[in-house]
Amino acid sequence: MWIFTPTSFLSIVDKDGDRTTLLVRARRAGEIEAHFPEAVVETTPNNDYLYRARIARERVAQVMADSIRNLRYPNYKDTVNDRELHDACLGVWKVMYDYQRRKRKKSGATGS
């Protein structure tokens, strides 16, 4: 699962897990700790995500649920103050928008 927040991009997977923990991964230093201050983060230069931490599944669920409960913005992209992260998010938005347009064109659907 990919999670974009106003301050970070996280990838959360159940990789080689024991069903009680999840692997939380990030591309930039400090992004995991921003959400999980107690995490023991490893730097893994030979992996696709440079930073990773194994975190209790229920803790990940709690933090993500709290983020949703506290969500107060009408437009996500406007909340991303870090220019590089904003531009990366905009790139993802554009790729997915183009994907939607292609799917809509193939299906003949209309609307916004």
Q: Looking at the structure, do residues 25 and 79 belong to the same domain, yes or no?
A: no
Q: Do residues 56 and 110 both lie within one domain? A: no
Half-sphere exposure of 87 (CA within 13 A, CB side): 2
pLDDT at 53: 98
| Structural domain boundaries, residue 43 | 1-72
User: Cβ distance 8 to 31 under 8 Å?
Assistant: yes
Residues 58 and 88 in one domain: no
Task: Report CA torsion sign: 36, 73, 79, 44.
Answer: positive
**How many domains are contained in the chain?**
2
Q: Could you read off the pLDDT tens digit of each residue along the chain, which spans 112 residues?
A: 999 999 999 999 999 878 899 999 999 999 999 999 999 999 999 999 999 999 999 999 999 999 999 999 999 999 999 999 999 999 999 999 999 999 888 887 766 5
Q: How far apart are CA 108 and CA 31, in angstroms?
A: 41
